[in-house]
Amino acid sequence: MAISVVLAEDSLIVREGIVGLLATEPEVEIVAECADLGSLLEAVEQHQPDVVVTDIRMPPTHTDEGIRAAATFGKRGLSTGVVVLSNYADPSYAVALLDAGAPGRSYMLKECIHDRSQLVAAIRAVAIGGSMVDAKIIEPLIAARTRHEHSPLADLTPREREVLANIAQGMSNAAIAESLFLTKRAVEKHINSIFMKLSLFEDESTSRRVKATLMFLAGTGREPAADGAADPGLR
């Protein structure tokens, strides 16, 4: 059965580009297209899609509508996965999205839509409750924190840094093992070592594990909330 998708993007050109990109994917079916937060919420209520693919900024405020929508779905107990497409490589947005009340969240840079396989991978991941964060957000964070004089990242081995980057992207232990040509047991040992060195609490929830890692890399000890993330409500 195809993954049903509601697409929300206020730029007609970008929206049509995404529709064309996914048109040849038999496992993805776009059931509605929207250009603002209000119509997105109405479409989700009407179609009950598996996944929403949404721009981060749309009318009416052009601030954080994509994250606010995800927060609304979580508060209402909806299992809808959300892929937020953004031009902003700011980890606080990704952390806010992962903190928006439910699993099945992905924060991807808009440039990823030129790579159909990457966009489809994000849709697949959130449809089953997984989490993904664009690698281009993770890599500079790790590099910056490693250069910091007192960063605990300096205590990680090069292999542990590779594993940490994959954790932050939302990869499972099995996927990390396959990506780095390691056994699953070796990955588990690396993760235990990483979380001990960074004083992070290990969690079986992919979303919470990704969020904890992002918060550490972003250098914040608190959980940021999206600006104006009040529940606009499903009408």
* pLDDT at site 204: 67
State how far the Cα of 149 lies from the Cα of 167, in Å rounded to an integer: 23
* pLDDT at site 34: 96
* pLDDT at site 195: 86
* pLDDT at site 100: 61
How confident is the chain (235 residues) per 10-residue block, as mean pLDDT? 96 94 94 97 96 97 94 91 92 81 85 86 92 85 73 86 88 91 94 87 72 72 40 41
* pLDDT at site 222: 41
* Sequential DSSP letters for 73-119: HHHTT---EEEEEES---HHHHHHHHTSSSS-EEEEEGGGGG-HHHH
* Sequential DSSP letters for 155-202: GS-HHHHHHHHHHHTT--HHHHHHHHT--HHHHHHHHHHHHHHTTPPP
* pLDDT at site 150: 72
* pLDDT at site 22: 93
Domains identified in the chain and CATH numbers: 3-134 (3.40.50.2300), 136-218 (1.10.10.10)
Contact 30, 2 (CB under 8 A): no
Nearest to 4, CA basis, from 36, 39, 34, 28: 28
